[in-house]
């Protein structure tokens, strides 16, 4: 589905082309009115069709060598996450150790894309990664592991803008390469689109580092609290318009998380955005993806919706913690020829 068939309205994202946040929006300046006119003008989602399409993609079965490749790719796309109130520096260090060496019994095992922690622990993660931290690794010619920090009063997002921006600046200063922000669902649901838009833009500004590099911004929509597919699609467009580098399904802290139809819907938005503007925005399903099977279904959905070029860490991530162990068990099964067990991977 292309939202805008006529192609007459061409939106330019905030901050893109270095225009200092200029936005040639739709039909006028960014206000609640223009945003509402645009977002609520987006046709409704065909929920039955969406779910059928997702269910159809989920029946795709990968075997042998393609499955082995898919499993490796899943690992390369994982944001290995720990977001508990009980997180300690020690726990973050062990998470980092696992990110660097997921399977000590198999040196061919790829590394994950990033570790995702709370902002106050970002410095610990950077320190623990050492030479494997993405900026240092890039300087040495390898890809490395990024540090993603959740910010903006994660997971509720209920704080004043000043507090949220301080939260972001803090995490960026601590060395976070990626910021996972939450949108203000209350504002979105009560129709204050401009507030949400401006918040994302302000956070994007706060992601700038003095050295000129930007921390990548992932915008968490928390689709479980947006309730409907229509809302999720509007929120996706809103986040993309406001300059998100990634749109992310959920925090993992509410009952309903990343379902396959929801991921499919968001992938359709970034695909349409790419057709409209040529810009590539990433998607990150998070929460509830625990098995290799689920993860591979996500890969299939990405390849079939946005295209295979999206299957790289800069455009697709899976936020997960227990998924990695399941993938490792599958890899061990493929390597040894017999089923493996939880005693053969690290506890997390």
Partner 1 sequence: MTRLAVPKTYKLYIGGKFPRSESGRTYEITGAGGDFLANAAQASRKDARDAVVAARSALKGWSAATAYNRGQVLYRIAELLEGRRAQFVDELVRSEGLTERRAAAVIDTAIDRWVWFAGWADKFAQVLGNGNPVAGPYFNLSVPEPTGVVAVIAPQAGEGHSLTGFVSAVAPALVSGNTVVVVASRSAPLSAISLSEVLATSDVPPGVVNVLTGSPAEIAPWLASHADVNAIDLVGAGALDWVQLQIDAAETLKRVLQPEDGPGAPAPTLARISAFTETKTVWHTKGLL
- Nearest distance from residue 237's CB to partner 1, in Å? 41
Neighbours of 247 (CB within 10 A): 28
Annotated active-site residue 211? The verdict is: no
Residues 247-286: x/- map of binding to partner 1 (CB under 8 A)? ----------------------------------------
d(CA 221, CA 136): 31
Q: What is the largest CA-CA distance in the chain?
A: 63
Q: 226-245: which residues touch partner 1 (CB under 8 A)?
A: none
By beta-carbon proximity to partner 1, the closer residue of 301 and 332 is 332
Residues 6+ apart with CB under 8 A from 52: none
Please pick, among 180, 184, 294, 326, the residue that the annotation labels catalytic.
Answer: 180
Annotated active-site residue 120? The verdict is: no
Please pick, among 167, 248, 272, 294, the residue that the annotation labels catalytic.
Answer: 248
Two tokens, residue 250: 């959920």
Three-state DSSP state, 279? coil
Annotated active-site residue 4? The verdict is: no
Q: 280-339: which residues touch partner 1 (CB under 8 A)?
A: 332, 337-339
By beta-carbon proximity to partner 1, the closer residue of 195 and 292 is 292
Q: Between the CA of residue 25 and those of 38, 100, 105, 243, what are the distances in Å? A: 9, 43, 53, 12
Task: Answer whether 232's CB lies under 8 Å from 268's CB.
Answer: no
- Nearest distance from residue 340's CB to partner 1, in Å? 5
By beta-carbon proximity to partner 1, the closer residue of 34 and 105 is 105
Task: Answer whether 261's CB lies under 8 Å from 54's CB.
Answer: yes
d(CA 212, CA 235): 29
Task: Answer whether 265's CB lies under 8 Å from 221's CB.
Answer: no
Residues 6+ apart with CB under 8 A from 202: 161, 165
Residue 20 phi, psi (nearest 5):
60, 35
Residues 6+ apart with CB under 8 A from 328: 102, 103, 109, 345
Interface pick for partner 1 out of 341, 346, 347, 348 (rule CB under 8 A): 341
| Residue 344 is a binding residue for partner 1 (CB under 8 A) | yes
d(CA 332, CA 141): 29
- Nearest distance from residue 344's CB to partner 1, in Å? 6
- Nearest distance from residue 59's CB to partner 1, in Å? 15
By beta-carbon proximity to partner 1, the closer residue of 6 and 64 is 64
| Contact stretch for partner 1 (CB under 8 A) within 133-141, 204-212, 308-316, 340-348 | 340-348
- Nearest distance from residue 252's CB to partner 1, in Å? 22
Interface pick for partner 1 out of 34, 94, 340, 346 (rule CB under 8 A): 340
By beta-carbon proximity to partner 1, the closer residue of 26 and 71 is 71
Interface pick for partner 1 out of 19, 22, 69, 342 (rule CB under 8 A): 342
Terminal C-alpha separation, the chain = 41
| Residue 106 is a binding residue for partner 1 (CB under 8 A) | no
Interface pick for partner 1 out of 343, 346, 347, 348 (rule CB under 8 A): 343
By beta-carbon proximity to partner 1, the closer residue of 85 and 341 is 341
Binding site for partner 1 (CB under 8 A): 332, 337-344
Catalytic residue annotation: 180, 248, 284
């Amino acid at each position: 589905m292309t939202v805008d068939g006529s192609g007459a309205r061409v939106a330019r994202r905030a901050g893109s082309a270095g225009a200092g946040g200029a936005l040639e929006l739709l039909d006028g300046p960014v206000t609640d009115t223009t945003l509402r006119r645009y977002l609520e003008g987006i046709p409704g989602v065909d929920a039955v069709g969406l779910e059928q399409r997702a269910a159809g993609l989920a029946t795709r079965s990968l075997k042998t060598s393609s499955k082995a490749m898919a499993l490796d790719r899943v690992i390369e796309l994982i944001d290995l996450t720990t977001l508990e109130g009980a997180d300690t520096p020690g726990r973050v260090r062990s998470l980092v150790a696992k990110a660097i060496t997921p399977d000590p019994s198999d040196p061919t095992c790829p590394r994950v894309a990033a570790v995702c922690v709370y902002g106050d622990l970002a410095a610990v993660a950077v320190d623990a990664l050492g030479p494997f931290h993405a900026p240092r690794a890039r300087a040495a010619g390898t890809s490395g592991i990024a540090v993603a920090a959740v910010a903006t009063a994660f997971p509720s997002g209920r704080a004043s803008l000043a507090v949220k921006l301080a939260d972001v600046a803090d995490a960026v200063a601590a060395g976070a390469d990626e910021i996972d922000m939450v949108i203000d669902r209350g504002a979105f649901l009560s129709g204050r689109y401009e507030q949400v838009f401006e918040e994302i833009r302000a956070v994007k500004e706060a992601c700038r580092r003095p050295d000129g590099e930007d921390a990548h911004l992932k915008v968490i929509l928390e689709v479980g609290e947006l309730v409907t597919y229509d809302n999720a699609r509007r929120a996706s467009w809103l986040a993309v318009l406001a300059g998100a580098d990634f749109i992310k399904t959920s925090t993992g802290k509410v009952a309903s998380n990343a379902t396959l139809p929801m991921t499919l819907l968001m992938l359709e938005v970034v695909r349409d955005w790419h057709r409209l503007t040529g810009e590539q925005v990433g998607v990150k399903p998070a929460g509830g993806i625990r098995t290799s099977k689920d993860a591979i279904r996500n890969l299939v959905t990405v390849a079939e919706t946005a295209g295979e070029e999206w299957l790289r860490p800069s455009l697709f991530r899976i936020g997960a913690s227990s998924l990695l162990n399941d993938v490792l068990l599958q890899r061990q099964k493929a390597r040894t020829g017999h089923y493996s067990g939880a005693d053969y991977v690290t506890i997390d």
